[in-house]
Structures are given as structure tokens and as C-alpha cells.
Amino acid sequence: MPAFYVLILYILGLLTGYEFKPGLATQLLISGIILFLLFDSIKTRPSFVKIMIMTCIFFAGFLRSVYPVFAPIPIEWYTKAAHLIEPFKVRLVDGLGTGLSATQRELIGGIILGRGSGELNFKHWAHFIKAGMSHLLVASGAQVSLCVFPVIALAENIPFSQSIKKCLFILAGILLAILLLIVGIEPSILRAITACYLYLLARLINRRARALNIIYATALFWLWINPSLVHNKGFQLSYAASWGLIYVYPRLRTIISARKTIRSNSWLKNVISKTINSAREIFLLSLSAQMVVAPVLAFNFHRFSPSGFMANLIAIPLSEILIYNGLATSIVAQISIIPALWMSSLNSFLLQILDNTAHYFAMFPYFKSPINSVIALFIPYLLIALFIEARFRPHGLINVLHIAQNVVYPWNNLRRFRRRKVKLAAIPEE
């Protein structure tokens, strides 16, 4: 069964459970029905078993909403480990702020470490939220990839022995744990780190992992740990953006294909061509994330600002440069302050541009959102799926409409099944 269907059924069960708040009698009744249907499904055909599994997943979410949250690791262990690494974290944050004003120090700390910097106050950065750039102030997949990508790339691309590769994957897991202790517990960083751990686990047992299945599995894991995350805005935005980058972006890239450029002898033409292609990739990345995140923003904040599409074309490249140069500045500052001050001048310049960009795009008008219910929230995602299916696959729109027709008019399938049964009965046995 696809992981997507499992996740959707579980979320629907959670939402239904929060709405109805089942008591003890309801829980016992549902548990008894599920056990009876599971035992009964053993004697039936496999399709009925699948239906029973889907029913059990829905009611697992329905009943999970009643029980309290539990931690995957004891909080005392996490607190002690975070206390041990605190001196290193303080030196890292001090190095990031080398040669910067207090405002710029707070901003670069938020971009690189999120709330883990200990200095970020979102009230000072309301213009980033209005401009659709608030994701820059949250630790997420960019920090995770920066932390473990060199180790994973080394293990994947160099023909080491299996034992050395496994040691490198274990090292990547240790680095992820240290990163979590530095940046703190946030939905976005938990999503990225859990997804990376699942990838490392798959590689340790020599299995290939699909990115979408990893995202669905991590969402299911954290919703089982803490079912109230289904209402958490950060959790919703983080997974929506991840789905957009992993599912929507490759398809948009295929639909809006790049022009084939012939390599020229002129270096200027080659530079212009590469710049245009890079700008196109950044635009598609921003569009993929923004078009998927927009319905969640509209649902939670009842407003939508189209300026975020343009603002992120400038903000995303700048933030990537700031992350790399900021960390390099912090490392150099531990050795010598003079070169660190030279490097921080670039940080100061980029932070000023980023802040001015947020102020400028925050002045753009926004639209009031018509999305005020969970059912209405699914309509934009249905439209996105219809668009992608219609453009990416041949006859994709026809297939989607055919599925919708079967859902709306289920008796058509019943008639078709009966006709097929009559035809099979008319065939004489040999």
C-alpha cells in the first residue's frame, strides 16, 4: 500500500478523533469491530484484507488523538547532552556575530541556527513574515544537508569497502545528533533530521530509499509521537514545502524545460547562459515550494501575498551564501579575528540587502483568503495535482477524471463487475 494513502488515512482519523473526542465506550466498540473484521478478513480475498488495513489505519488515528504525547527519547537525556555541547554552541554564535551590529547578529543567527541561536525574536522580523520570507529564519533541510552532505557524498561516490561506507553513514548520524542539540527541537529540523536518519538506515542495510516515501514515513512517525502536530503551523508548512520540492519541482522542471544552448566560444555568452539557467532553477524551486505552501498560509493566516514568489528569487540565493560564509567566518574567528572581520563585511552587506528586500516586498498588498475549512484546503492541492497530471503524463487529466467519476458514481464499477461475472459464467468449462 502506498505510504501516501497510509498517511492521509491516518491524518483523517486524527482530525475526526479531535472533532468527536471518543470516550472509553467508543474506544472499546471500535477496537472490538476492528478485531472482528481483521479475523474475518483472513478467510476472504486479498482485496478485502486491504480494505480492512485501511480501516484500521483510519481508526488508529481516530483513537490516537485521545492518548497523551510520548517522547522518542527521555527529555533528561536530551537536556544533559545539550548542556554538554553548550560551550561549543556559544562560541559558534559569537563567531557568527563577528563584526556585525546587534540586529544583523540576530538575523544571521536566525538564518543559520533558527531559534537555536537564542537571540531570534520574531516580533522584530514581522516584515519577513509579510514578505513570505519567514522560512529563512527557521533551521531546516539546508542546515542538515550542509552538515552531512560531504560525508554522504564521500560514501556514495568513492568506491570504499562496505565496512568503511557503513562507518561514514554512522558518522553522518552522529553529526545529525550534534546538529539537533545545537539548533534545538523545531518541527522543520525534526522533519529533515528524521528523513536523513531513515535514508542512512536504508543505506546501512543496502537499500535504496525513495524521497517521497521517506517524507511520508517521517510525517507518520511524528504524528504518532505527537498527534497534536497535525494542527501545528510549522509542521504543516515544513512538510508542504518538502512535498513541493520533492514532488512538484521535478515535474515543473520537465514541463518548463530549459532551452538547449550551444556552447559558444565567447565566455560572455556562456556566463549569460549559465546565469539564465541558474535563475530558472531558483525560480522553479521557489515556485514549487510557494505554490504548495500558499494554501496552508491562506488557511492558517487568512491571507495570501503573491510578492513571496518574487522575494524568494532574491532571498534564497543570498541566504545560501550567508549560511556558508557565516559558518566559515565563525570558524576563522576562532583562529584569527582579522580575516574574520574581512569575511564578516560580506555578511553585513548581504544581510542589509536581505533586510531591505523583506521591507520592500512587505509593502505589497495581500489578498484575503477564502480558505476557512479543512475541506476547502484540499481544493488547491487537487487543482495542482490535476495540472501536473494533465501536463506531465499523457492522458493524465482523463485518468484523474475517470478516478473521480468512479468515486462519485461507485455503482458504475458494480455494474461493470456484474457484467464481467455474467460473461465469465457463460464461458463453458473445459
* pTM, to two decimals: 0.75
> Is 144 in contact with 188 (CB distance < 8 Å)?
no
Q: Which of 83-92, 122-131, 350-359, 414-423 has the lowest mean pLDDT?
A: 414-423
φ and ψ of 205, to 5 deg: -100, 20
Q: What percent of the chain has pLDDT over 90?
A: 3
pLDDT of residue 416: 46
- 42: its cell numbers: 483472513
Whether 301 shows a pLDDT value over 80: the answer reads no
Task: Give the start-to-end residue ranges of the domains of the chain.
Answer: 1-67, 75-374
Q: Would you say how long the chain is, in residues?
A: 430
CA gap 20, 18 in Å, rounded: 6
Distances (CA, A) of 315 to 16, 294, 318, 342, 363: 39, 17, 5, 23, 16
Q: Which of 1-15, 30-44, 101-115, 154-168 has the lowest mean pLDDT?
A: 30-44
pLDDT of residue 275: 76
CB proximity list for 139: less than 8 A, separation 6 or greater: 112, 113, 114, 115, 116, 183, 184, 186, 188, 189
Whether 48 shows a pLDDT value over 70: the answer reads no
pLDDT of residue 8: 80
Whether 82 shows a pLDDT value over 80: the answer reads yes
* CA 135 to chain CA centroid, nearest Å: 12
> Is 54 in contact with 5 (CB distance < 8 Å)?
yes
pLDDT of residue 261: 52
Name the pLDDT band for 350 (thresholds 50, 70, 90). Answer: very high
CA gap 232, 242 in Å, rounded: 16
Taking alpha carbons only, the member of 265, 358, 287, 284 closest to residue 318 is 358
Which tens digits make up the pLDDT trace of 206-233? 877 788 888 888 888 888 888 888 888 7
pLDDT of residue 273: 75
Q: What percent of the chain has pLDDT over 70?
A: 76
Q: Which of 152-156, 269-273, 378-382 has the lowest mean pLDDT?
A: 378-382
Taking alpha carbons only, the member of 129, 13, 90 closest to residue 362 is 129
Per-residue pLDDT averaged across 181-196, rounded?
83
Per-residue pLDDT averaged across 378-386, rounded?
68
For helices 46-64 and 3-20, angle between their N-to-C axes, nearest 10 degrees: 40
The more confidently predicted of residues 255 and 328 is 328
pLDDT of residue 420: 44
Per-residue pLDDT averaged across 311-333, rounded?
86
Which tens digits make up the pLDDT trace of 387-410? 666 665 554 455 555 545 444 444
CA gap 72, 197 in Å, rounded: 14
Per-residue pLDDT averaged across 255-273, rounded?
65
Q: Please give the single-letter amino acid code of residue 326.
A: G
Whether 17 shows a pLDDT value over 60: the answer reads yes
Per-residue pLDDT averaged across 190-200, rounded?
86
Name the pLDDT band for 270 (thresholds 50, 70, 90). Answer: confident
Three-class SS of residue 303?
strand
Whether 258 shows a pLDDT value over 60: the answer reads no
